[in-house]
Amino acid sequence: MTELKLPSIDYAALAPILIMLGAALVGVLVEAFVPRRRRNAVQLALALVAVLAALTMVILHADDRLLTAGQAIAVDGPTLFLQGSILILAAMALLLIGERSVERGGAFVAHAAVTAESLDDRRQAEGVSGTTEVYPLTTFAIGGMLIFVAANDLLTMFIALEVFSLPLYLLCALARRRRLLSQEAAMKYFMLGAYASAFFLFGVALIYGFTSGIPGRVAGVDFATVHAAVTDSPASPVLLFAGMALLAIGLLFKAAAAPFHVWTPDVYQGAPTPVTGFMAACTKVAAFGALLRVFHVAFSGAAWDFTPVLGAVAVLTMLVGAVLAVTQTDIKRLLAYSSIANAGYLLVGVLAPSKDGLSGTMFYLVAYGFSVLAAFAVVTLVRDADGEATHLSRWAGLGRRSPFFAAIFTFILLAFAGIPLTSGFTSKFAVFAPALDADQAWLVIAGVLTSMVLAFPYLRVVVMMWLSEPGDATPTVTVPGALTSAALVIGVLATLVLGVAPAPLLDLANGAAEFVR
């Protein structure tokens, strides 16, 4: 019997995670004790303060490079960079979630239990203050994401996956309007998410089996052991490859890579738009953070074997995202397919086995996060009496009605299309260049070709906004409240600045691009 030893825990290094989870718990208490009238303000302030405090801790500990909690958590460059990214993007998403002036009562349902399409439902849609549980749920999700990108063993990673996924399933169901669509989205996301989690867990089990029997090591699923097992294990490599495949599927599901992307359009469309933005920005960062760590740390010895398979997945993802975006008629679904295609481009960066590939991917995640949040912020503003007008035909002539917001949206679409002087160009360059250096020209060629296809749906929206005559059905753009304005300004400015002067962030990403083992 080995003696059970308590692992040493570096609380300071874990502070961002602890702050977010702590704030979520306090948020639950706020729900119970603070009067309904003041709950929204208190919750929003609490969540934002927690995010900023966590961000401060990340910045203070920017030079930490350590393993803690019995090697279950790695606090290193990528962890800190990605945690910082998640926190900044989450702050923007919280601003959108907290917006109450664009729609009376906010984007969220007042009572989630009210039957959809009932009389009560119609009454609550008229402007009863939205439910405030969204804040603790969001805070929990952020905490889970922070663990997810820091997890240094597969079980911790699985727990983190569940911690951030479950609140997201709930958040998806909380739209104030079109509640059936929203609930359907949540249901689909939950069922398919559970399904994918099972794959992940099965993969963990196979890998655990694979690690047993290495001379001088105990079986385990921490990344150091897995890394050693890849070269030294006497067990059948079938275990390794089947396990690796199943793990990858669990992660690729979250990353929305084809063919595990099927949930994305439905969920992006059904979820409340601020939540969609949160998922598109933060979940992407978390999922790719985990993918980077798993494949660059644990399985780096098998890079020759996984690269062609994941490369094929990347190409398929780019193709599916780009081609299907062409015929979309709903702006949220269009952005969903764009997000799928972007997952393909990100995979190109993940597969470049170099420091530049790692830093390029991290840069891409941040740049894309800012742009996509700004895009969904604009979507929340284009409304008519029935809420957001997301059908593309309704956007015709928007440039005449609201040239300012149409111009902003045009700029963001150009960034998505990768036009120079926007972050879309620099970030694509940041992932394609290392891929070329690593002799993966086929991925880059696929990336460039699909980018061309993808430019079409973007430009179609631009053309529709500017060159069509506004019809009676063209909605107006609501004047955004201070919170949405702030998020929009941050997103657009970041898209511009990262396009014009990307060097500081690239340097930061480069400096952070080294995992501890």
Q: What is the SS3 assignment for 110-122?
A: CCCCCCCCCHHHH
Q: Is 326 in the site for another protein (CB under 8 A)?
A: yes
Among 232, 305, 330, 514, binds another protein (CB under 8 A): 305
Nearest CB to another protein, comparing residues 291 and 324: 324
Q: Is 213 in the site for another protein (CB under 8 A)?
A: no
Among 55, 67, 246, 334, binds another protein (CB under 8 A): 246
Q: Is 314 in the site for another protein (CB under 8 A)?
A: no
Nearest CB to another protein, comparing residues 192 and 201: 192
String marking each residue 167-206 x if it binds another protein according to CB under 8 A: --------------------xx--xx--xx--x-------
Q: Is 249 in the site for another protein (CB under 8 A)?
A: yes
User: Would you list the DSSP string of 50-63?
Assistant: HHHHHHHHHHHTTT
Q: How far is the CB of 69 from another protein (least distance, A)?
A: 31
Four-point Cα dihedral 503, 307, 226, 168, nearest 10: 70
Q: How far is the CB of 269 from another protein (least distance, A)?
A: 10
B/e letters for 364-394, b = 16+ CB within 10 Å, e = fewer, are: bbbbbbbbbbbbbbbbbbbbeeebbbbebeb
Cis peptide before 7 (omega within 30 of 0): no
Burial class (CB in 10 A: 0-12, 13-18, 19+), 280: buried
Q: How far is Cα of residue 378 from the mean position of the Cα atoms in its chain?
A: 18
> Of 99-107, 131-139, 305-313, 409-417, which part binds another protein (CB under 8 A)?
305-313
Q: Is 312 in the site for another protein (CB under 8 A)?
A: yes
> In this structure, which amino acid lies at residue 404?
F
Q: Is 259 in the site for another protein (CB under 8 A)?
A: yes
Q: How far is the CB of 465 from another protein (least distance, A)?
A: 21
String marking each residue 452-491 x if it binds another protein according to CB under 8 A: -x--x-----------------------------------
State how far the Cα of 73 lies from the Cα of 165, in Å rounded to an integer.
19
Q: Is 501 helix (H, G, I), strand (E, B) or coil?
A: coil
Q: How far is the CB of 124 from another protein (least distance, A)?
A: 26
Alpha-carbon separation of residue 348 from 169, 312, 429 (angstroms): 28, 10, 11
Binding site residues, another protein, CB under 8 A: 187-188, 191-192, 195-196, 199, 237-238, 240-242, 244-246, 248-249, 253, 258-260, 262-263, 265-266, 305-306, 308-309, 312-313, 320, 323-327, 453, 456
